[in-house]
């Protein structure tokens, strides 16, 4: 049965359709903004390319981060709304799970200011929570091969091999992971690993009168 996956956690709008373990169609459009307006039309184009309709789907999957705050909210909100309207399960898949190849590894994703999001995996399963680290001075990370995006500097620091992925493969990877999992009991939730970049206002909040 077809699984439709999409991701807006970085500067892109990406989607893929997987059926029976086979990639049927995919789209990846780079964009710094505008994902909210583009996502649903892109999904409809993808379904039309595969000759399917919304009610032909068996499941949805969405990238829950880490990444851009607004982009993650757009993707997760769309997945929840579509799942409710179509009566489908919606899987929330982290970028770490999407790019993890199996075995004992470190999976990386780019973070602001030259830092990295990192999560260790053992035997293909997450080992401990992800963290935000400086690739030039990582602390407490095991020496394992590095996979994912942007991990070259970390691999050089640790003296381990690195295999770089690209954002163009995020949606197919999310779809394939979701297709191997049972229907989730909970709705997708964003994965945030840092505080929001917006500064709090300096003026005191207004007094609300009774």
Q: pLDDT tens for the chain, 210 residues: list them.
A: 899 999 999 999 999 999 988 999 999 999 999 999 999 999 999 999 999 999 999 999 999 999 999 999 999 999 999 999 999 999 999 999 999 999 999 999 999 999 999 999 999 999 989 999 999 999 899 999 999 999 999 999 999 999 999 999 999 999 999 998 999 989 999 999 876 544 444 555 555 554
Cβ atoms within 10 Å of 69's Cβ, excluding its own: 17
Give the DSSP letter of residue 164: E
pTM for the whole structure? 0.91
Cβ atoms within 10 Å of 180's Cβ, excluding its own: 9
Q: Where are the domains of the chain?
A: 2-95+167-179, 99-164
CATH 3.30.420.40 fits 2-95+167-179, yes or no: yes
């Amino acid at each position: 049965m077809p699984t439709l996956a999409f991701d807006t956690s970085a500067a892109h709008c990406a989607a893929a359709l997987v059926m029976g373990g086979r990639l049927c169609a995919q789209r990846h459009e780079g964009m710094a903004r505008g994902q909210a307006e583009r996502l649903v039309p892109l999904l409809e184009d993808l379904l039309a390319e595969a000759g399917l309709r919304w009610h032909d789907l068996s499941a949805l999957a969405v990238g829950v981060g880490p990444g851009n705050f607004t982009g993650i909210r757009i993707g997760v909100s769309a997945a929840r709304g579509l799942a409710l309207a179509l009566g489908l399960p919606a899987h929330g898949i982290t970028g770490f799970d999407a790019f993890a190849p199996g075995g004992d590894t470190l999976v990386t994703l780019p973070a602001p200011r030259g830092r990295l999001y990192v999560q260790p995996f053992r035997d293909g399963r997450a080992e401990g929570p992800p963290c935000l680290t400086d690739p030039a001075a990582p602390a407490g990370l095991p020496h394992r091969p590095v996979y994912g995006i942007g991990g070259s500097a970390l691999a050089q620091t640790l003296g381990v091999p690195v295999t770089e992925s690209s954002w163009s493969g995020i949606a197919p990877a999310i779809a394939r992971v979701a297709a191997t999992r049972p229907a989730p009991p909970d709705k997708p939730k964003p994965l945030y690993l840092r505080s929001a970049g917006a500064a709090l206002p300096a003026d005191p909040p207004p007094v609300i009168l009774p």
